[in-house]
Amino acid sequence: MERMKLIGIGADGTDSLPSLYEQWIHESERLVGGERHLSFFPHYKGEKIVIRSNLSSLLATLVNEPKKTVILASGDPLFYGIGSYLAKKVPIEVYPSVSSLQWAFAKMGESWHDAYVVSLHGRSMKGLAQRIDGKEKVAILTDETNDPRAIASYLLEYGMTEYEAFVGENLGGENERCRFMTLEEMKDGMFASLNIVVLRRVHKGPSWTFGIEDEEFFQRKPEKGLITKKEVRVLSLQALCLHEKSVVWDIGTCTGSVAIEAAKMAREGAIFAIEKNAHDIEICQKNMKKFRADFTLVHGRAPEHLEQFPDPDAVFIGGTSGSLRDIVAVCCARLKQGGRIVVNAVTIETLYEAMEAFRQYGYHADILLAQFSRSKPILQLTRFDALNPIYIISARKDEKNDR
């Protein structure tokens, strides 16, 4: 199969396209690209194929109907572009142009090697808050849905006002426009469809270290205490062995303390939490906004609704409402290879039930009995208040569990 040519093209169309590239295009038998890309070549005599959301059918055409083909893409085709998909499927030669990212930072007069880059083009904004929280520079590739106004509204919802925004429109093109603005200004602005957003942190925002203090969380009033205490939370999260891209379930999330800390550890992953109490759902949502953790929160009683979640790398079970065995059954069946399940139990009856459930599915479980006391002043002296002892039960899925 003859190698196809994948050519990056800028907003200025053919103006900055090397003459050799134009020659390749006009000598080809088939030209593939978006409507905007193909419009730069109105007199092309060969077959034209418009790229929409038909990548699988496009690939079938390229493989099954071989022709001398040139494919057009925006900027650098291997930078969040079609090139990364095609390069794994068909033989291609890639000829990049200047990417929108390079143009944007050039217009800002700033380096971009230290920027965090995220693409919202054709993707959900879910999880963006924890992914970018604390970053100095963030470049965001947009689309018609996730445009600058939608991004600004989202960031304001999570109180991320420490950022100013730079919006570059039609970069490198005839109608190029570049602006710095506040998030409030961006929320109400009007923008060309071709744009990129760069966030630059201009002052320090709030930050939290691992093991957030219990008092920082919104909790039930006047009845407090329905929260996984900091010391137990830290040990439980450690037992989950999370990595940056972990998919995590938090069952019985209540205030959301475990899910929130997990979201900050698995920034590039995804967190899915379920809670049966409507009032706790409201409290959890307030905590999510405060701590900039944007995860999927479902109002319901497990194991119902768990089928909505993708298979997890880790599961935390903090509350079961009497359905522990059924929940463990679903978790054991869905857990990925090498994954962890951690159960917090207050009573020896729950401990026994959890251990029996894990044995039934061939899981070996370790138990840590955690007993903590916190200092408390009494006049000029100090005494200790004991926290309730907690059994932290952790089980790991290995090859023998699949037999």
316/332 same-domain check: yes
Please indicate, yes or no, if residue 178 is contained in any of the structural domains: yes
pLDDT at 398: 84
177/40 same-domain check: no
155/245 same-domain check: no
3-state secondary structure of 91: coil
Please indicate, yes or no, if residue 207 is contained in any of the structural domains: no
pLDDT at 224: 59
Please indicate, yes or no, if residue 247 is contained in any of the structural domains: yes
Using the 3D structure, point to which of 47, 64, 98 is the last residue of a domain. 98
pLDDT at 42: 95
pLDDT at 225: 60
**Tokens for 282?**
């409201």
* 210-216 long-range Cβ contacts below 8 angstroms, 24+ apart: 210/234, 210/237, 210/261, 210/264, 210/265, 211/261, 212/257, 212/260, 212/261, 212/291, 214/257, 216/290
295/372 same-domain check: yes
78/149 same-domain check: no
CATH number at residue 60: 3.40.1010.10
H helix count then E strand count, the chain? 13, 19
3-state secondary structure of 104: helix
List, as one string, the DSSP characters of 308-370. Answer: GSPPPSEEEE---TT-HHHHHHHHHHHPPTT-EEEEEESSHHHHHHHHHHHHHTT--EEEEEE
User: What does the radius of gyration of the chain's CA atoms come to, in whole angstroms?
Assistant: 26
CATH number at residue 165: 3.30.950.10
| Helix (H), strand (E) at residue 107 | helix 100-108
Using the 3D structure, point to which of 155, 171, 201 is the last residue of a domain. 201
CATH number at residue 361: 3.40.50.150
Q: Are 141 and 100 spatial neighbours (Cβ–Cβ below 8 Å)?
A: yes
Please indicate, yes or no, if residue 379 is contained in any of the structural domains: yes
Please indicate, yes or no, if residue 206 is contained in any of the structural domains: no
Please indicate, yes or no, if residue 332 is contained in any of the structural domains: yes
Range(s) of the domain holding residue 183: 101-201
136/253 same-domain check: no
pLDDT at 322: 84
**Beta-bridge partners for 344:** 392
Please indicate, yes or no, if residue 273 is contained in any of the structural domains: yes
How many domains does the chain fold into? 3
Mean pLDDT of residues grouped by 10 in the chain (403 residues)?
Answer: 91 91 96 94 95 87 93 93 90 94 96 96 95 97 97 98 97 94 98 96 94 94 77 97 98 97 98 96 97 98 96 95 94 97 96 96 95 94 93 90 61
255/168 same-domain check: no
243/348 same-domain check: yes
Using the 3D structure, point to which of 63, 98, 133 is the last residue of a domain. 98
70/107 same-domain check: no
331/257 same-domain check: yes
Which DSSP letter does residue 113 get?
A: T
Query: What confidence tens digit (pLDDT) does each residue in 31-40 have?
Result: 999 999 999 9
Please indicate, yes or no, if residue 24 is contained in any of the structural domains: yes
pLDDT at 212: 97
Query: What confidence tens digit (pLDDT) does each residue in 259-316 have?
Result: 999 999 999 999 999 999 999 999 999 999 999 999 999 999 999 999 999 999 999 9
174/301 same-domain check: no
20/151 same-domain check: no
pLDDT at 355: 97
